[in-house]
Structure 1
Amino acid sequence: MDRSRTGSFRSNQQGRETIIASTTTTSTPQHVTDAIARLRGNIESVFLGKPDVVDGVLVALLARGHVLIEDVPGVGKTLVTRALAKSLDCAFRRVQFTPDLLPSDIIGSTVFDSKSSQFVFNEGPLFAHIVLADEINRTSPRTQSALLEAMNEGHVSIDGKTHRLPQPFLVLATQNPFEFEGTYPLPESQLDRFLVRLSIGYPSREEEEKLLLSHRRGEPVDELSPVMGMDELRDVQAAVSEVTVDESVTHYLLDIVHATREHSSLRIGVSTRGALALYRSCQAAALLRGRAYAVPDDVKELAVRVLAHRVMTRSPMSLHDAEASSEVIQSIVDHARPPE
């Protein structure tokens, strides 16, 4: 799979963009644009050479979604998460998923307090604004499923009581797609909770040289300071829903979604939840680019990242193969006719 085709949010269809813009508000509030620029710049100051990955993470953050990062160890999966958390004035927790991890280890548990003679709920590490679920496929399905309610509903239920999670709430999960011994593949219901799936890849030689030089005196991410508070982030997230998606862009999006349900190589196509995820992602991507309207290129550039992990191929050998499903989605996008 050519990852460079799936990560850029650049628009090269100026004619279509002009037509869509003629019937919409063409700019976002300046304070929103400035806030996003500060956040992106802070992250990119330490996470070098991968602006498309940063954009993918920010799309999920703005759209109130979650991120699954699949790649080999040592390419920056944890770094981009830490850089995001350090750039926000937020509560951040990292959970190392292991085979013996229990649901109560991440959600929390109710214990009896002898001093007050009452049962008290002790919050687990899931009670944070940003949670890094490291190597999520190394824990049991029981513990993986404990994340479902939290990721989808923003709360957890323990002993018949509902506990709200801090808002905004973002889970960034990592896994190594090339190592399967001792792992538990994420079921479709879990994968569907992630708004986007990202791959980082190796940096270029030039960027890797810059990275080496930046680490001469320690870890640069440790020096980052917050550039956005939670109230400001909530305002930016609220602005996403104001982004206009023209009817022609919506039809183009649905053409791609429905094509997955009829494609001969796919056993399971994209669900309605997946269509909504792509719609919200396009709104967030537009805002990220300073636009108050989505364009067809937003759909085209996001389709693989948002949809590929929501389909299932027919071949038993590639049932959960990220590359195989990505190639099918890319083929559908290449053959879909964008608005004129």
Structure 2
Amino acid sequence: MVPEVTTPADSTATAPSEPPRRGRALRSMLVSREGSIIGALVVSILAAAVFVDGFASGRNAGFLILDIAAIALIALPMTLVIITGEIDLSVASTLGLTSAVMGQLWVMGLPLETIVPLCVALGAVLGAVNGVLVTVVGLPSLAVTIGTMALYRGLAYVVLGDRAVADFPFSWTGGATAPVPGTSIPWIGVLILGLALAFGVLLHATPLGRSLYAIGNNAEATRFSGVSVRWTKLWLFVATGTVASLAGIFWTLQYGSARADNAFGLELSVVAAVLLGGVSIFGGTGALPGVLGGVLLLGTIRNALRLADVSSDTLSIVTGMLLVVSVVAPNLAARLRSRRKPTGPPGRR
């Protein structure tokens, strides 16, 4: 018998189509929401580095991280809350009340070593109030947190009034903004990275994380599958309040001033960053890397506009526009995809 010889043409014809598969995967990643955000972030950084004086300096990179620190911290648990189909609009007021309590306790003579854990516990309690009203009483989270947003801010003014407490020790205020030795990156950036990894593993690599997506898609079916929807959402609100209080402590030390109006309106920036990062306002979809990209994109734009001497009113307008775009764009994309799908039976080739 003559042995069969495989020619180069035959080997080419029978070779597996791995490159096309990789090409499809790459295209899928690039056209995904996360890929679009990362691309927009890269373009924004390059444009700001070219057209805005001082943006590309290492010193400004540290300022940018400090500027987005509170937003990034709160956006982490907020992502999980929105994925389950809920929302917490009281986070900025929780931050403000934490700052006011921190200032009042300092005036009363308590050391910061005692004040900090008390304020963290306060944030957990405030988050639990939201969680109980939503999960036990059965009220919609939008209405509840709009109410507690006003309530917590009002309590902040009751606690501290219009005063500003600004005599915190430099060892604390300086430490809040201190950079990692040998770099311009502040230590708070390391904390954000660590928390992002923890929340990312929780959301994307654990059964609990998968249940959060299931709750956002169909809470009733998830309940019948054995998941405690009520307790899961309750603890998410507790986590959001706790992290918001941590952001309040950092905010107070960063600016060296405890005020009742600290971070007023910050909830708009947090929600804008989360939705901009690809999390659906209706729940069930989203990823933490996209949210981090949304936080950085929002921070980059705001930082570049500040360096260009743009007014704070314009910054608010830009934030609002990004929030609207982040809600409208996915719906438009879904409609375009549905129109492109064939409506009739597939034809024979």
TM over 0.5: no
Q: Which has the higher contact order (CA 8 A, sep 6+)?
A: 2
What is the TM-score with the length of structure 2 in the denominator?
A: 0.27
Which has the larger share of strand? 1
What is the TM-score with the length of structure 1 in the denominator?
A: 0.28
